[in-house]
Amino acid sequence: MDTLSEWIDVKDQLDILKKKELELRTKLAPKILGDKIEGSKTGLLGEYKLQATGVINYTIDEAELIIRKDELDDAELAAILYKPKLKLAAYKKLDAQSTLRRIVSARPGLVQLKVVEYLGE
């Protein structure tokens, strides 16, 4: 089996396993968490001690935040984390000696690969 065919086969198997793992985790977690929907809880299932963590993803409606920012008190403003995010297109246009270029570090990420189309028979 050539490397490409092996990769496609392994990727297909991994996709199936990830889906099955999620399905099983979704069935098991409530047995530990009970009614708790956020935070961690440890419990026993059979001979295993498991820790389940319920997660709620919170997002800010940025458009609404801009409109209502003046209405927020200090405690509400303190609850908002402003994370610097790089606008890559603008960053790449900066001069090599830019102060920002000395602040930003860049390192290679994990290569992504996907089958776009099978052209065989």
pLDDT digits 0-9 by tens, 84-113:
999 999 999 999 999 999 999 999 999 998
Write down the domain spans for the chain: 3-93
Distance (Å, whole) CA 69 – CA 87: 23
Q: What is the pTM of this model?
A: 0.72
Whether the Cβ atoms of residue 104 and residue 91 lie closer than 8 Å to each other: yes
pLDDT, averaged across the chain:
94
Tell me the pLDDT band of 117, cut-offs 50, 70 and 90: confident
pLDDT of 115 reads 83
Least confident segment among 25-29, 59-63, 110-114: 110-114
C-alpha to C-alpha distance for 12 and 5, rounded to whole angstroms:
11
Cβ contact 100:94 at 8 Å: yes
